[in-house]
Structure 1
Amino acid sequence: MRTNLKRLGIVGLALFLTGGQGAWAQVTDRWVDQPQVIVPNARRIRVPIYQTPVELSAVGVHVAIRDGVAASTLEFSLRNPSPQAQEAQLILPVPEGVAVSRLVYDGVGPEPVARVLPKDEARRIYDSIVASMRDPALVEFVGWNLIRTSAFPIPPGATQKVSLTFEQVLGADGARVDYVLPRSESLSTTDTPWTITLDLRSDRPIASIYSSSHELITERVGPGHIKGRVSPSSAQNPGSLRISYVTQQNKNALTATMMAYPDPDNAGHGYWMLLASPPVAGAEVTPKQPREVTLVLDRSGSMRGEKFTQAVNAAKQIVRGLNEGETFNIVDYSDSIETFAKVPVGVTPASASEAGKYLDALRPNGGTNLHDALLEALRPTPREGFMPLVLFLTDGLPTVGERSEVKIRDSAKAANAFNRRIFSFGVGMDVNSPLLSNLAKASRGASTFVLPDEDIELAVSQVFRRLTGPTLALPRLIETRDEGTSPRVRDMLPAELPDLFEGDQLVVLGTYSGAGPITLDLGGEAEGKNRSVTITLDPSAASARNAFVPRLWASRKVAALVEEVRQASAEGAGGIGDARMRELSEEITRLSIKFGILTEHTSFLAVEPNASLGLPAAATRAADNLMDLAAAPSNRAGGVSVAQERDINLKMAQAEAPAQQVGRYISGSDNRTVQVETIRAIHDLTFFKRNNRWVDSRLAGKEEAAPDQTVAFGSPEYAMILATLVNERRQAALAQEGEILIQVGGKAVLVQAP
């Protein structure tokens, strides 16, 4: 019967016997009379073979938040595959302060009832289920309250729907409001579909919304109204659903909030994340800054065919998408450089029509004079008060004129006296991806790589839609401190902040040290004026609830270190010395082990079951991988190069949830995303699977050594270990299947499987 449970996904099914633990040993028909307890937000739990398990076939979640009060509605579809009627009972871990407002049951028989149990009573129920089932799946919910329903019938062969709504007043930290729906952090099969939608309303404009756990797709209905949903693939990911939103307190003002996490292994140090947004459109904001857009289009012979048609269509879309009063020009290049107009022209129906005719007349031929095309786009003086943007598209390496990567990027930097933002598009695999990435990042732009089977028109239009209404240019984040004192904020990523456009939000991460508040000033230019907001980073307010922050920081740090290797490996850049390479490799490997952030260079840590997690050996192997890639011609162009650049962009993503970064990288062999399931992130810990044993990354290099203590499941020592981990908010580590080697109180503790 257990094979049926593979359909349960990240949810779980537990059999709870009201007759107590002794009933587990009984093999009688009495089993079929007992209600099956459904724990939708737990991982799959073992059940006895004596009863056909009720299948949880779908879960729908709708979260409605009104001015800080949340109503969460969960609809469960329960299927009884048995030829006889069965009873079920729901148990749902929830935060404190929850009240049940509605329970809808569309079946026959008495209406079930639901009540909220406080965490002490909930603990007794969790303990009872864990002991009865000899399965630790529910220990991760120790410390949460729970909602328990009475039993309700499910007819044979039927699917029963039950809907439960609970309400709560959400916690707030200044202008930030936080929501959480507890779910398991342990990976399991993920076939049960979860759909999660959100309706957020506030009397004040909503400046930003962020999920540290899952990918949110949002639509702004109005200044104080946002609708959203969790992407289907992300909804299947494990972990509690966490959503934060920030309201705008003053019109025409920047909005910012700070989240910090204290480093438990380094007293007086920690990690921080800043979430900031420009003023909300439609909330009495100042007029938008107009844009001057220069489209740079590769018309070399290699662009011939469908991709040139797509590129031309993308250019037409951009011109049509400009607002009244904005300007544009077109630079097209192969061996030679041509332009649509001598200077950028204002967008009108007539100029847009002429631009369309100009684009239609272009014919791909010749080589690629990338250097001169860049300079042609960067040198002209933009109109005063306009934001100058360059959209640069190419499908090949420079073959005409200057071909040195280092000289091209240096020339572009020198020619860009007016701070034009370059948004580069590499089409196909035969592009110098480090060059295109450098051109973009050095100018506060971004790079995009369009694979051979992807649509150029779609890729370009998606980027351009983001570049609507620049609201904050040249942003900066500075620590204000007394003269002569050392900085307390370090390792800020990104090191250079990107411009903010309408609908953007800024996510900045870093580390801090010392006690006492730290003052940061976030500022930039809007409508020709300097705007700023003062933010306080208070280490005393750092919380273990923000365990996602260090993992997000580590993801960006790994990307930045790999990028340093790639940029230094360009021909003519001077290379990177052995000592620095070893230093970078050791840091990349250390972060990979500690946080589970893999690259193709360190993927062996999780892919190879016998690979040592010891830092010296692992770092040496990673260094060899990095040096091989740096020295190879494919490091600058080709599929491997594009994969590396896409992986860097993935890890630097502004809104990427940290849970989605763990064990994931882009493979150079086929440019596909690889998700490794022998590595897990649980709270702030990382575990690697070694021979059916989950190994705490803090014990890296000691995984083969004898543990300091061996603990049997369910023993008094187990209870003590669990209590310690509950205090550290790390109890979910014990919910994993199999043996667990974990560091507790400085000791290596082996927790035996049930």
Structure 2
Amino acid sequence: MDSCCGLIISCSKVPVPLRGISVEVQVKGFVADVCATLRYKNTEEKPIEAIFVFPLDQDSAVYSFEATVEGKTIVAELQEREQAHKTYDEAISQGQEAFLLEEDKSSGDIFSCSVGNLPPGQEAEVKLSFVRELPVESDGAVRFVLPTVLNPRYTPKDHDMSVTAAIPRLPADKIPYSLALNAHFQSVYGISKIESNCQLEPIQYTDGDKLSAKVSLAQGHKFDKDVELLAYYLQANTPSAMVEAGLPDAVEGSIMADPVVMLNFYPNIPETKEKANSGEFIFLMDRSGSMMDNMSSEQNAPRRIDSAKETLILLLKSLPLGCYFNIFSFGSEFSSIFSESTAYTQESMAEAVKLVNQMDADMGGTEILEPLKRIYKTAGRPAHPRQLFVFTDGEVGNTKFVIDEVRRNAHNHRCFTFGIGDGASTALIKGLARAASGTFEFITGKERMQPKVLQTLKCSLQPMVKDITLTWILPPGVEAKLLSGTPTAIFQGQKSIVYAQLKGKVEQGTEGQVSLAYSFKDEMVANVLRFTLKLTQSERPTMHRLAAKVVISNLIGGENLEEKSEEVQKQIVETSVQSGVISPLTAYVAVNKETKNPVKGPPVQRSIPLYGAPVAMACCMPMPRMMPGGPPRALACSMAAPGGYKPQIAVCHFPAPTPMPAMPLLPTPELADPTSGPAEGLSEPEIAVCYWSDSATVSDGATSAPAEGSPEPKVEVCYWPDPASVSDGATSAPAEAKAERALFQLISLQNADGSWNLNSELASVFEMSEEVLKEKIPDPVNSSPRL
């Protein structure tokens, strides 16, 4: 048995050197420039090496890293990755303070910051800066997200362990460092309001025309959810072009030396009057153990699996008659509800909805690669374009392998993805959609999913846009070198961004024009964007850095770097170093060469703890499905050992299996007093005895007791919920949640043809009797048994 779980640990005996994080956000239109400052202090009596693994959005272009020690600022140098590690290690061995920032090779949304040889009592600050494009939501909001949740990534057998598996975890109220965030928004269109999923200080408009505004995060953020800011501009979907001058000291011919233009298209695709009645819709549902977690830490928050199921049912109810569909579930294994895609009828839809309602997060790990391969091996149906929908919390360790599989099959389908819950991997969710010309959405917290679901379905029903071309008209002697590539997919209402490098002598104030043309239902359509070549020189060449990030991402292409040719790897490193934008093949390193008292001996490693969901175990390696008979007698679990955070192996011995409901294991509210008995509504406790062991001594399915001399066993007391005390939904939801639930109930009762059966179930949604409902319906409709 392969298994790897993380337990929430107590860090009371181990000081955490990270004291606080402060973030300054500058948003201009649809681009955010962010500077994050991490404050450290070593309160121990020995030198330490602090390692902080944290999330960033996949599209973030990290362009600066510096450290400040004893009033002196050390600007880091971006080096080839192996050279940066060598520089860092040599500095540590010589007793010098050193700082390292790198992007995880397996997933572009994970970063690691190392602060090495921090002497006792000393403080240090490190700053990292990044820029990123901001998406526009279906309701017109410009969305900025600062990720603070990094969930453990599941790693299938025969793949390298994810760096997230070794991160120590704490409950939200035990995180010992703080977060402060200030955000400044500027828009030439005016700002109507700014909303957030977190508590904010009152918005402050900094000018009379409401063209700029400032908001701040209220104190006490618990790191249990990403920080999301939604800015509503008075006009958002307007095509635009921005031209930025090159840097005079940049390498000649490089991206940074020449002007760069950023084009924002909003293609106006003609409405089709034909009713869609074709298509093969395949839904891939994540039913791994992590989908059992709640969408948020708030009371009565739904589980991820329940939000995913609601999303899927909403899609099922909205499919066109005449199409074909199938639903796959995956975890450590996979299955489908039909042996092959079946015709969409009232009967097949009703059967599918019934089976979806029975689904639970009970299939172990997150092995998405094998079901994808099975889907792609199945031949599609003629005249029914295949559309793949993926629902997952994104806790996948082999991200690049999964994206590469989708990319290899992009010629015969489109892929649409839904990231469920905070911490969903942006590298996976965005990467899958982009690999197969689809769209992506993130559903978090109490966010209304209906607009996002319907927007995605509308995109999937839109006929494919073909023959996309870009035609430039520029002044004589000026040429456009496309950096982002020609768009591969265009959808109504969706922004399409193009970056280009302008080669040649650009005269200030001259005019340029670019036409985005495409074929739609055998008709040619063109969207023309005119712009002035007014070069702006900025201390922060934002457009250049975003363009460099796009170039690096395209060169990587979602594939394993080891499979890339030496020439491509060289191009990645050159683009990264010249632009200052970090890549998986480069890293930032800084060394304090003027250390007054060199550190003697190796520093003690301290991993910074992150928030961990309040569950007994979070599985991140292959694990058998939990059966009604109870948990296995023993599990080999990778976890952080108390007192040092060093990844260890724990063997957890459970009591003999006893009958229990198929419900999540809940930690007792009073772990400090296991004799206090179960709380109201909970059954007698199950006790798991865990002891620390060297990984080399643990074999698959280990069942042996602790060896003599092993550390004292760790006792965890857990209670299984009494089935009678657990209801299907929240017992006391606010009015808006109640309305949301009523809407979903109404949708779930809808027939495949869009009608409703006039019966007591429908009447109960409106909280009235069937007779009263009939009285309120107009006579021509009332005479029919269906609405």
Same fold (TM over 0.5): no
Higher helix share: 1
Q: Taking CA–CA contacts closer than 8 Å with sequence separation of 6 or more, which of the two structures ends up with the larger relative contact order?
A: 2
TM-score under structure 2 normalisation? 0.37
TM-score under structure 1 normalisation? 0.38
